[in-house]
Amino acid sequence: MQKLSFVIGATATGKTYFIEHHFADKRAVVLNVYDYQQRAYDEAGCDDWITFDMQFRCLKRANEMHLHDIIAELKKGNDVVAEQTFFKAKRRIAYIDEIRKAVDVEIEIFVMCPGDDRWADNIKKRELDDDLKSFKAQAQRDIEFPNPAEGFDAIYEVVDEDIILRMDEEKPEIVDQARKELAEEAVRITKEEEERRKRQELLDSMNTRPFWHYCEVCGRKEFLTAEDAHNAGWDYPPNIGVFGLLSPRTCGDCNMQQTLWWKVNQQSIPLVMTGELTEKERETWERIKNEPESLLDDNE
């Protein structure tokens, strides 16, 4: 029977080094989740700046690809070593459930638990910003030590040169709780994806449907398609500016010096201060913030 070995642990606990040495004489395929995370970020077109939501989706995508490849290699008959962070029981259980469904395999897990000196040394070598104290605090707060109930055949603690079998008492409630959380998470993700899809559909429709164009300077309003408005000289998203973000909203006869955008950009800090707006500017700002929905109905 093939063997799947997970190697998990906090940052700079020596996972990669351990894999290189412990599995050196074994013919196993090594799949490191960090490679998949990098690929997921690249695919999503992320550079330095990333929202929490996008990060969650990239990490989820990375895990899906990683899991997919683990199963594919096991099915080919290969032994696999998988490097992961895997702090939470539910993340491990999500993997194990899928793997057990797909292949008959022996699953072991190595948890990196280096002594302080070794860990501090690794942190120094890698020139990381945080110190041992903060990495340790994070690990103690976030890592749930694997329990046999999760479906592991063997669980090992790796303390420097020692590999110690540690099979705690089975706690099936961990698995029940994890499955419950995973199910809730799946519902939430489906809902969010649906909302994102609807939002995108609405934004796409704004390229062709007629919608209300409000000139914030002279107060004129017209029900036009983006193309007709653009030809008539309007400065309006989606052709000029972005829905929901401050920029001029003007008809072909008015200029941008009298817009809210202009006023805000004369300030030392170009932020909208709602307290300092006139009634008319406040109305404009509310409408812009709520685009494109605010342009669909005649709200007068």
Does 255 contact Zn ion by CB under 5 A? Answer: no
Task: Please identify, among the stretches 82-90, 175-183, 234-242, 247-255, the one whose residues bind Zn ion according to the rule CB under 5 A.
Answer: 247-255
Q: Is 254 in the site for Zn ion (CB under 5 A)?
A: yes
Q: How far is the CB of 186 from Zn ion (least distance, A)?
A: 49
Min CB(255)–Zn ion separation in Å: 9
Cα distances (angstroms) measured from residue 123 to each of 23, 32, 116, 139, 142: 23, 20, 10, 14, 19
Nearest to 134 by CA among 144, 146, 145, 119: 119
- Counting contacts by CB under 5 A, is residue 155 touching Zn ion? no
Which positions from 17 to 46 touch Zn ion by CB under 5 A, shown as an x/- string? ------------------------------
Say whether residue 229 binds Zn ion (CB under 5 A): no
The residue from 82, 132, 155, 217 that contacts Zn ion (CB under 5 A) is 217
The secondary structure element, H or E, covering residue 3 is strand 3-8
For the bound state, the minimum distance from the C-beta of residue 220 to Zn ion, rounded and expressed in Å, comes to 5
Phi first, then psi, for residue 107 (nearest 5°) are -115, 125
Region of residue 109 (phi > 0: left; psi between -120 and 50: alpha; otherwise: beta) = beta
Which range of residues in 25-33, 70-78, 89-97, 250-258 is near Zn ion by CB under 5 A? 250-258
Q: Which residues have a Cβ under 8 Å from the Cβ of 187 and sit 6 or more positions away? A: none
CA distance 92 to 90: 5
User: Is 104 or 279 the residue whose CB approaches Zn ion more closely?
Assistant: 279
Query: Does 67 interact with Zn ion (rule: CB under 5 A)?
Result: no
Number of residues counted as binding Zn ion (CB under 5 A): 6
Which span (94-102, 144-152, 206-214, 216-224) binds Zn ion, by CB under 5 A? 216-224
Cα 188 versus chain centre, distance: 14
258 binds Zn ion (CB under 5 A): no
CA separation, residue 87 to residues 125, 142, 143, 146, 193 (Å): 23, 6, 4, 9, 25
* 218 in contact with Zn ion (CB under 5 A): yes
CA atoms 267, 272, 274, 278: torsion sign: positive
CB 279 to Zn ion: min, Å: 18
Is there binding between residue 89 and Zn ion (CB under 5 A)? no
Q: CB-wise, 187 or 218, nearer to Zn ion?
A: 218
Pick 57 or 213: Cβ nearer Zn ion: 213
Residue 263: how many CB atoms within 10 A of its CB? 16
Of 15, 14, 8, 12, residue with least CA distance to 132: 12
**Which residue's entry shows tokens 């973000």?**
245
Q: What is the Rg, in whole angstroms, of the alpha carbon atoms belonging to the chain?
A: 27
Does 251 help bind Zn ion (rule: CB under 5 A)?
yes
Instruction: Write down the least CB distance from residue 216 to Zn ion, Å.
Output: 8
Candidates 215, 226, 264, 288: give the one binding Zn ion (CB under 5 A).
Answer: 215
> Looking at 30-38, 66-74, 176-184, 251-259, which segment touches Zn ion (CB under 5 A)?
251-259
Backbone angles phi, psi at 50, to 5 degrees: -150, 135
260 binds Zn ion (CB under 5 A): no
Question: Where along the sequence are the contacts to Zn ion (CB under 5 A)?
Answer: 215, 217-218, 220, 251, 254
